[in-house]
Amino acid sequence: MHRHHRAAALAATVLTGALLATGCSSSSGGKKSEETANGASAGKATTPRMTVALVTHQAPGDTFWDTVRKGAEAAAAKDNIKLIYSADPNAGNQANLVQNAIDQKVDGIAVTLAKPDAMKSVLAKAEQAGIPVTGLNAGLSQWKSLGLLEYFGQDETVAGEAFGKKLNDIGAKHAVCVVQEQGNVALTQRCDGVKETFSGKTDVLYVNGTDMPSVKSTITAKLSADKSIDEVVTLAAPIALTATQSVSDAGSKAKVATFDLNKDLIKAIQENSIQFAVDQQPYLQGYLAVDALWLYKNNGNYSGGGEQPVLTGPAFVDKSNVDKVAAFAAKGTR
Amino acid sequence: MTQHAEPAVTTPPAPGPKDTDGRTAERSMIVRLLARPDVGVFLGAVAVYVFFLIAAPPVRDASSMANILYQSSTLGIVTVPVALLMIGGEFDLSAGVGVITSALTASMTAYQLSMNVWVGVIAALIVSLAIGFFNGWMVVKTGLPSFLVTLGSFLILQGVNLAVTKLVTGNVATDDISTMDGFDQARKVFASSFDIGGVQVKITVFWWLLFAAIATWVLLRTKYGNWIFAVGGNKESARAVGVPVAFTKISLFMLVGVGAWFVGMHQLFSFNTVQSGEGVGIELIYISGAVIGGCLLTGGSGSAIGPVFGAFMFGMVQQGIVYAGWNPDWFKAFLGVMLLGAVLINLWVQRTATRR
């Protein structure tokens, strides 16, 4: 019996391995070649090889950050840059990663400032070491005081306000803003921005973004607790797609609109199950933050003259322009 | 069936439901149920339920109850085997990420090989069983605490989930498989809903209760159930009386794999795609569900019914706060206070019961 059991388990493991292996090899080749064929690679600079570190506060496996990284990789490939990517959602750990990049004597650092205070001392060290630093995605109000060269991102409050105005235009009366990570500054700013300009009522709802069934039932609960809600505002694409299921589960008449994009969300906009998305163009953020370091090194340029940030959003994607975006989103670059 | 020198070399008889012993059915069942710690958690769950009935009017709707049960079921389906494992004296920290591993495996296998989704479903089951086997085998072979072993596999799976997904799909989420062959069929099994008196009840609720019923029966009525209590209580004396310790522990880990697989399939067929970074932190909810449900952290004691109420309590509190419309900034604090309160009621009932 025992031997049978073991043999069966062994066979299962081998079979699984075989299945996985075939799965891997057949696709990764195809996908890889597809990516290089489609990726935004417009030749390659002949400037000397340089090294740039991109350090973000990404949580593992987030579709949004994957897009940022793809943008950065495209710029690196074009500019003859060796890109070192690292990320940690914990601010202290992220600071250590920046220190790590300084120790490696990189030629430039691109960094997100989700928790700016934690980054202060390590950014001072980068300045001492003479390493130029660009900011992206988070830290709009602090990048200048922390001595960064330039900043590429979206003003979350501005994006929220634009979102709120759009809600007024489409005639929503009562919105619920779904926050998937309690205590995240940027997400809170988005909801606050919506509240600021939206003339109807805005509620806030916290959900656990790492547990989709729980997200689904929590939004369902909120919608059935308050039948007057006619708009669900989500702050990430996967949450938006789940919210559409909650709406039908709760038998609610609410519509769903969201911040940020991914390819399934594009499809949902095409199929009318989601009204619109506000895109902060993460690919552009990653691309520009890395490309800027190349420009600075090779031609001394810096965008915004060290005074003004470069805004990458908010860009609205709705029924009217979704088809244009769809082709890029399918590749995971928008 | 005599003693052996090495822990792993034992000769287990066929597992599972075959040996119903001669004890009289009804009476001993009731007596045993009342003597068990689940009575406390049952009362705790009732208290929480009544509390929200008063505090949150929407909870009184049958459809709200269906939603609460849905949330509870997605936790409860894994909590049941996790509870059995804890009774057996071990811990599994990899169950939460294991759910995602399973869903990713199914999705990518089917999509990349362009096969019927059932191929992916089976592949995922095999992977989940293999993970369970690995955990159990490591624990039994090395004698390391399962906390450490499964902490290792928890971290490994997190990395593998992300890296393999990225390698295979080029993205960090899997492709939409909703148009593939067999999807609708699989969705019926794992993620459909039923109309009961005008209320849509998710199928996971039925599976959850069915699994809990089977687990209860196995625990109370089969030889395998006795083995679980025995290996959790005292491994050495269990071995001395001829309980196949290695087999019992490894199979318990594999059962957790089955639970994780089931919920993983539910997520896949319910949401069409899976994000590779999900699932972190959920393992603790499974374990707390089992602990609230009266399973001892040290093993050897507990039930399969208690964790049902444990998971229900979790779902009830989590959704009840939303139904009640309380200030969401306090959400986590409310959750903690309610759970602690529920556990205290549980403890109080147990103490009062044993004092008499």
Question: Cα dist. B250→B34, B131, B212, B247, B256 in Å?
Answer: 30, 10, 20, 5, 10
On chain A, the residues whose CB falls within 8 A of the CB of B70 are 213, 216-217
On chain B, the residues whose CB falls within 8 A of the CB of A12 are 126, 129-130
Q: Which residues contact B219 (CB under 8 A, 6 or more apart)?
A: B84, B87, B225, B228, B229, B303, B304
Nearest alpha carbon to residue A136 among A160, A100, A108: A108
- Whether A221 sits inside 8 A of B63 (CB atoms) is no
Within an 8 Å CB–CB cutoff, is residue B133 touching chain A? yes
CB atoms within 10 A of CB A307: 7
- In chain B, positions 195-214, which contact chain A (CB-CB < 8 Å)? 200
Confidence of residue A93 (pLDDT cuts 50, 70, 90): confident
Within an 8 Å CB–CB cutoff, is residue B258 touching chain A? no
On chain A, the residues whose CB falls within 8 A of the CB of B13 are 1
Distance from CA of B234 to the nearest CA of A (A): 22
Q: Which residue of B has its CA nearest to A333?
A: B171
Q: Which residue of B has its CA nearest to A205?
A: B328
CA distance A319 to B30: 62
**Of B74, B280, B322, which is closest to A222 when you measure between CB atoms?**
B322
Q: Which two tokens stand for residue A102?
A: 């300084």
Nearest alpha carbon to residue B272 among B156, B188, B174: B174
Give the burial string for B60-75 (b: 16+ CB within 10 Å, else e).
eeebbbbbbbbbbbbb
Mutate to test the interface with A, among B18, B79, B168, B247 (most CBs of A within 10 A): B168
Q: Report how far apart the first and last C-alpha atoms of chain A are (Å, whole number).
A: 54
Mutate to test the interface with B, among A24, A57, A224, A228 (most CBs of B within 10 A): A224
Residue A45 has pLDDT above 70, yes or no: yes
Task: Tell me which H or E stretch contains A63.
Answer: helix A63-78
Which phi and psi (to 5°) does residue B279 adopt?
A: 95, -10
Q: Which residue of A has its CA nearest to B204?
A: A213
Give residue B11's pLDDT: 44
CA distance B299 to B291: 10
CA distance B245 to B136: 11
Residue the block writes with tokens 């009935």: B53
Q: Which two tokens stand for residue B154?
A: 């928890």
Question: Cα dist. A137→A76, A86, A153, B65, B185 in Å?
Answer: 18, 15, 4, 41, 42
Q: At what angle do helices B331-355 and B306-324 cross, to 10 degrees?
A: 140
Within an 8 Å CB–CB cutoff, is residue B161 touching chain A? yes
On chain B, the residues whose CB falls within 8 A of the CB of A15 are 126
Q: At what angle do helices B38-55 and B306-324 cross, to 10 degrees?
A: 10
CA distance A212 to A255: 19
Give mean pLDDT in consecutive 10-residue pieces for chain B, a chain of 356 residues. 39 46 50 62 87 89 89 94 95 94 94 91 97 96 94 94 89 86 92 88 95 95 94 88 93 97 94 87 90 84 90 88 80 79 75 63
CB atoms within 10 A of CB B50: 10
Confidence of residue A22 (pLDDT cuts 50, 70, 90): very low
- Cα dihedral sign, A150-A153-A156-A161: positive
**pLDDT tens for each residue of A26-42:** 333 333 333 443 455 56
**Of B270, B281, B328, which is closest to A210 when you measure between CB atoms?**
B281
Distance from CA of A127 to the nearest CA of B (A): 33
The residue among B186 and A3 whose pLDDT is bigger is B186
Mutate to test the interface with A, among B79, B271, B317 (most CBs of A within 10 A): B271
- Whether B277 sits inside 8 A of A60 (CB atoms) is yes
Mutate to test the interface with B, among A4, A6, A14, A19 (most CBs of B within 10 A): A19
**pLDDT tens for each residue of A227-262:** 999 999 999 999 999 999 999 999 899 999 999 888
Question: Cα dist. A99→A56, A95, A139 in Å?
Answer: 13, 6, 19
On chain A, the residues whose CB falls within 8 A of the CB of B158 are 60
Residue A109 has pLDDT above 50, yes or no: yes
Give residue A28's pLDDT: 31
CA distance A79 to B301: 63
Nearest alpha carbon to residue A233 among A332, A164, A333, A321: A164
- Whether A61 sits inside 8 A of B277 (CB atoms) is yes
- DSSP-assigned states of every residue in B153-211: HHHHHHHHHHHHHHHHHSSSBPPP-TTSTTHHHHHHHHH-EEEETTEEEEHHHHHHHHH
Distance from CA of B226 to the nearest CA of A (A): 19
- Whether A16 sits inside 8 A of B126 (CB atoms) is yes
Q: Which residue of A has its CA nearest to B317?
A: A218
Give residue B15's pLDDT: 46
Give residue B117's pLDDT: 93
On chain B, the residues whose CB falls within 8 A of the CB of A267 are 176
- Whether B318 sits inside 8 A of A218 (CB atoms) is yes
- Whether B162 sits inside 8 A of A221 (CB atoms) is no
Nearest alpha carbon to residue B38 among B311, B351, B300, B295: B295
- In chain B, positions 2-61, which contact chain A (CB-CB < 8 Å)? 9-14, 56, 58, 61
**Of B9, B168, B172, which is closest to A61 when you measure between CB atoms?**
B172
On chain A, the residues whose CB falls within 8 A of the CB of B172 are 61-63, 65-66
Q: Which two tokens stand for residue A326?
A: 């769809």
Mean pLDDT score, A9-33: 43
- Whether B109 sits inside 8 A of A23 (CB atoms) is yes
Give residue B16's pLDDT: 44
- Whether A224 sits inside 8 A of B168 (CB atoms) is no
**pLDDT tens for each residue of A266-285:** 999 999 999 999 998 999 99
Give residue B317's pLDDT: 87
**pLDDT tens for each residue of A291-326:** 999 999 999 888 888 888 999 988 999 999 998 888
